[in-house]
Amino acid sequence: MSTVSAYFQLVRVGWILVREGVVSALPSDDLPPAIRFAKSFVGIFARNRAKSKKRSDRLAKAVERLGPSYVKIGQFLATRPDVVGVEFADDLSQLQDQMAFFPEAAAKASIAGSLGRPVEELYATFGAPIAAASIAQVHPAEIRTPEGRRKVAVKVVRPGVRQRFAHDIEAMYLVAHLQERFLRSHRRLRPVEVTKTLEQTTKVEMDLRLEAAALSEIAENTQNDPGFRVPTVDWERTGRDVITMEWIDGVKMSDVEGLKAAGHDLNALADTLIQSFLRHTLRDGFFHADMHPGNLFVDPKGMIVAVDMGIVGRLGKKERRFLAEILYGFITRDYIRVAEVHFEAGYVPGHHNVESFAQAIRAIGEPIHGQPAETISMGKLLTLLFEVTELFDMETRPELVMLQKTMVVVEGVSRILNPRFNMWKASEPVVGEWIRNNLGPKRIATDLKDGFKAALKLAEAAPEIAAKTEQFHHQLMQMSENGLRFDAETADAIGKAEARHNRSGRFALWIIALTLLFIAWAVT
Distance CA 135, CA 315 (A): 25
Strands (E) across 128-205 are located at 131-132, 136-145, 148-157
Q: Which of 310, 223, 291, 287 is nearest to 252 (CA)?
A: 291
Measure Cα distances from 352 to 185, 213, 339, 341, 412 in Å.
18, 42, 11, 14, 35
Neighbours of 430 (CB within 10 A): 19
Query: Do 165 and 206 meet the contact criterion of CB atoms below 8 Å apart?
Result: yes
Query: Do 209 and 215 meet the contact criterion of CB atoms below 8 Å apart?
Result: no
Maximum distance among all alpha carbons in the chain? 96
CA quadruple 489, 494, 497, 498: dihedral positive or negative? negative
- Please report, in angstroms and rounded to a whole number, the separation of the first and last CA atoms in the chain: 44
DSSP 283: I
Catalytic residue among 290, 308, 450, 487: 290
Rounded to 10°, the helix 398-417/191-205 angle is 60
Give yes or no: 450 in active site: no
Query: Do 244 and 238 meet the contact criterion of CB atoms below 8 Å apart?
Result: yes
Query: Do 5 and 166 meet the contact criterion of CB atoms below 8 Å apart?
Result: no
Q: Which of 113, 140, 104, 15 is nearest to 66 (CA)?
A: 15
Distance CA 226, CA 217 (A): 17
Distance CA 413, CA 415 (A): 5
Active site residues: 290
